[in-house]
Structure 1
Amino acid sequence: MDPDSGVILAQTADGNAVALGLLRCGKIWFCPVCSAKIRHGRAEEITTAAVTWMKRGGSAYLVTFTARHAAAHKLADLMDAIQGTRADKVKGTSRKPGAYQRLITGGTWAGRPDRLDADGNPDIGIRGRVGYIGMIRATEITVGDINGWHPHIHALVLVGGAPASTLDGKKAVGDTFTPSDEALAELEDHFRGVWTRHLAKVDPEFKPSDEHGVDFKRLETARDAEDFGRYIAKIQDGGKAISPANEIARGDLKRGRHGNMTPFELLGRIGDLMGGVLEEDAQGHGDLSWCLAKWAEYETAVSGRRAIEWTRHLRPLLGLVGGDTEDDDADLLFAEDGSSEFRAGVHVETRAWHKVAGKALDLAATEAVEGHGLDLDAVAEVVTLAGASAASVRLLTPGEITEAWESTLAKLAERREAAAARRKAERGRA
């Protein structure tokens, strides 16, 4: 992050180790390390959103959307069907909506003010009748050798908000209310009908059954919402219970069901097979050529897509700052790096760290900091093994770690601001 600051290997209060000062790739679809940190942070945000809304008196639903799939179907085609196509500047094509976008468009959904309902009032649509304020969507993917790719969407749908306007024109939510059973049934029927019809239109083979296409679960209490936050980011741990928030955000921690593999399980099997592990001993299934082909197909199909996305204006409506872009993911990574309480740490000079990383000893150096006591000699041993001087490593106090980390972040912010100013000036000259 800053060539002058080096790298800090810090030990947290619970004995874990974190490397501060290193840039991250921020690839939520492709990097197990960055994905875990980003999804953990997003899970916390989603938990906050659900709990905040339910404590205000609103209602929340976990809705899962699934398409029918078979081994012959391409992942890119399935993703286009559920998420929509991506714009292609080279080909000059614009983005086309998928089944997800169709759910919240059209007069049936948004209402028709020029028409009157049965009571003689302007038609406010399903959106108005249930008090829809927004949703958070996360897309998850697994793959199996029998049924092929299985992309599906988990969404937190927030309802029960009466619209209100403010003096500055910003969107706001007025009083909360409990939608009627009739309105909620209308919402479920609308989602199921739109989802199924769009998939059938794209490819009749994608059309799901009424039973499996769309699944609704209501969160009854704030505790449900807290569990959901950990579930929407998603923990799937054998027979252990899955919390709803991790269900949405923590796709990195899930394991495929019924013989399916998550992308990171697929990646792990590739690593095992390339490392010489026998097929029958490696986790998962498929030979190396099949696994490599599936990973390549996965990369192409998800590049440029959002893994976790909030509808517009939902964050400010709930009092949350930030966003859900790749830049926001990067900021989240840095925040996660510095969010722990540090017990101790060591500073490694930049030149020495390059040698450590060049000899693939960076993991060993980090592991030397783990535990309930920091062994400076163990870190120095790794550094000297990499060909650097032991004098390039020095012990830091918790206060020194915090001060150095804040300085690094400040320098990074300055460089980003300077880069933004340069780009603005270049656009002006153009």
Structure 2
Amino acid sequence: MTTIDRCRVCARRAVAPELGTLTARTEDGTATGRGAQLCESIWACAVCEASRRAEDTHELTTAALRWLARGGTLIAGVLTTRHAPTDRLDDLLCALMGTRRHVDETTGEVTERTPGAYQRLLSDPGFYGRAEAVSTWRRKDGTVGQSVRPPAPGLRHEIGYVGMARNTEITRSKAGGYHPHLNTLVFVGGTLDGTPAKGTVTGTFDPAPEALERFEDWLRGFWASALRSIDPMYETSTECDRRDCKCGGKGHGVQLHVITSPDDKALIDYLTKAGGETAKSVQADVDAAKGAAAETAHSTAKAAKGKSMTPFQILDRLWAIEHDGLAEADAPGYGTTEQCRGWWLEYETATRGRRAFELTRGLARHTDLAGELEAYRYQEMHRRLLGGVVLTSVAHGQVAEAGSDFAVAELVAARREADVAELVADAGGRADHARVVDEAGAAEWVESLAEVMAAKARQRAAERAEWDRLAEAGHGLVPCEPCGGTGHREEYAAIHGGQCFPCGGTGRVIGDADDDQEHDG
């Protein structure tokens, strides 16, 4: 049902057909896969979403713990917009996160993106401050006049703002329709030499409670005003008279929670694995930072509460009805199959091309995250594999097409690798296309995959070198509309049937992903 081609074939093809795929058991008793081509869609693919959210959560947890250990302060927040059942999800996301750049396929006219309430927040003078401005003009008598507007600090200077992490969470309720909101983690309490994007943190301090309160009051008013300027129907409340409401009478557009560390030294010892036994005072810090990071970065994996559904729960309902044969009244969630399919298509279309998770510029540097994500990925890829089963590329495709790929993982996790051959036969394949391997065999297969992928990387590098050679020779560019006019060389077009080298005629260059995250590729 998806409109994303690469999502439709996710995990159904082997990246190295000559090797097939490996499903192996890890030390923690779970099963992991190697060698399948993944779509990497954080919005539309439940499997890829889980792995990428795990990466984001790890990265943000590390940043949060390091900032607390340094003496900084965190503010966990939720920013939302008023919504109604008749509101289109794309319109709500545009109000929160801005419109997307659009190129008209017929006329070629380009419509640049416009900022949403979130982007306006980061650049508003009341928060960011104003730099010194010098104005000059020429008088009628020919003399030149000049005035200087001195720099004015903003609220970010009072609270020591150094950066923010932002994740988009989307649910759908029966009464209110789609409800997108932004989960944020704000890093404050830092002394900056320069701007948050390009400056350097020279120290930390405890923001005064009055400054934090002024920031919260300003944020509530600004957020409601920014949404009102986009569409008055989206304006959030700044006060509430509901009894015992969790907003505390402050309105429902903004929720903030301040997190500090009561024992910075003990937390540093914990992070550096120094000091022997972990101090008890650290556990609260670790729990708070991990909880805030998971709430911010991994929120779409949570189950929605009450009568709401997450997008993947919409798919769960469809699967229960269309695959498992449950009646609509007995399936989890709500809505007819036609409605659920329409809601999913709306979600998939509205989120395409948007970033699901991002760190503001400079935050990774302020929290020493350089190389952290790569190290995490390396550890995940080099986990000890205790044994498993290797499927040929044909058998893997047959099992995936039959919807039995998760059953393979379950059998491997349960130490029943020998039963996978029967699963392949049931899917219409040959039982001898499933080969059980022990720990040494799994390690040998992974090493072979690494060699094949390295060879493919060398081949791509050679193709790029040839591309550069053609460019230096001065050959003209043939416009490539699918990938936005990047273009390809005439010789390459003649040899390869007119397909663009960067995108292969698909419109997507190497390393692109739906959400265009900074650390993709």
TM-score category by the smaller chain?
A: 0.7 to 0.9
Tell me what 1:16 maps to: 30
The CA RMSD measured in Å over matched residues stands at 2.8
Q: TM-score, normalised by structure 1?
A: 0.85
Q: Secondary structure at the match of 1:321?
A: coil
Specify the SS of the correspondent of 1:104.
helix
2:253 maps to a residue whose letter is G
Kindly indicate whether residue 170 of structure 2 is the aligned counterpart of residue 137 of structure 1: no
Cα distance per residue 1:340-384 (max 9 Å; x no partner)? 43222222233333333344433332222122xx33431222234
Name 2:190's counterpart in structure 1.
161
Aligned residues: 403
Is residue 370 of structure 1 aligned with residue 413 of structure 2?
yes
Q: Shift of the alpha carbon at 1:417?
A: 6.0
d(CA) in 2 for partners of 1:170, 1:101: 18
For 1:249 and 1:128, the matched residues in 2 are separated by 26
Q: Match for 1:354 among 397, 408, 416?
A: 397
What displacement does 1:189 show? 2.5
In the alignment, structure 1 residue 343 sits paired with structure 2 residue 386: yes
For residues 196 and 257 of structure 1, what CA distance do their matches in structure 2 show?
Answer: 25
Q: Which residue of 1 aligns with 2:435?
A: 394
Q: Which residue of structure 1 aligns with residue 303 of structure 2?
A: 255
Q: Normalising by structure 2, report the TM-score.
A: 0.71
Alignment of 1:9-408 (within 5 A): 9-90=23-104, 91-114=109-132, 122-164=151-193, 171-210=199-238, 211-221=251-261, 223=283, 226-228=286-288, 230=290, 243-275=291-323, 276-321=325-370, 338=381, 340-371=383-414, 374-408=415-449
Q: 1:3 to 1:229 in 2, by over 3 A?
A: farther
Is the 1:34–1:333 contact (alpha carbons within 8 Å) kept by the matching residues of 2?
no
Displacement, 1:157?
Answer: 0.2
User: How many angstroms apart in 1 are the aligned matches of 2:329 and 2:362?
Assistant: 50
Partners of 2:418 and 2:436 within 8 A in 1: no
Is residue 72–residue 260 contact of structure 2 (8 Å, CA) maintained in 1? no
Identity of aligned residues (%): 36
Q: For residues 315 and 250 of structure 1, what CA distance do their matches in structure 2 show?
A: 18
Q: Deviations over 1:274-311 (max 9, x none)?
A: 23311110001111222122111111111111111111
Q: Partner residue of 1:237?
A: none
- How far the C-alpha of 1:425 sits from its partner, in A, is 5.2
The residue identity in structure 2 corresponding to 1:73 is: D
Say which one has the larger Rg. Answer: 2
The residue matched to 1:123 in structure 2 has which SS? coil
What is the rounded CA distance, in whole Å, between the counterparts of 2:208 and 2:466 in structure 1? 55
One-letter code aligned to 2:309: M
Q: Which residue of 2 aligns with 1:239?
A: none
Contact map agreement 1:133 1:314 (CA 8 A) in 2 = yes
Query: What amino acid maps onto 1:379 in structure 2?
Result: V
2:17–2:392 CA contact under 8 A, matched in 1: no
Change in CA separation of 1:92 and 1:405 when aligned onto 2, cut-off 3 Å: same
Deviation >6 Å, runs of 4+: 331-334
CA distance in 2, matches of 1:137, 1:272: 33
1:87–1:94 contact (8 Å) kept in structure 2? yes
Would you say the 8 A contact 2:170–2:300 is kept in 1? no
Q: Which has the higher contact order (CA 8 A, sep 6+)?
A: 1
- CA drift of 1:19 comes to 1.7
C-alpha distance in structure 2 between counterparts of 1:82 and 1:287, whole Å: 29
* 1:49–1:419 CA distance, 2 compared to 1 (3 A): same
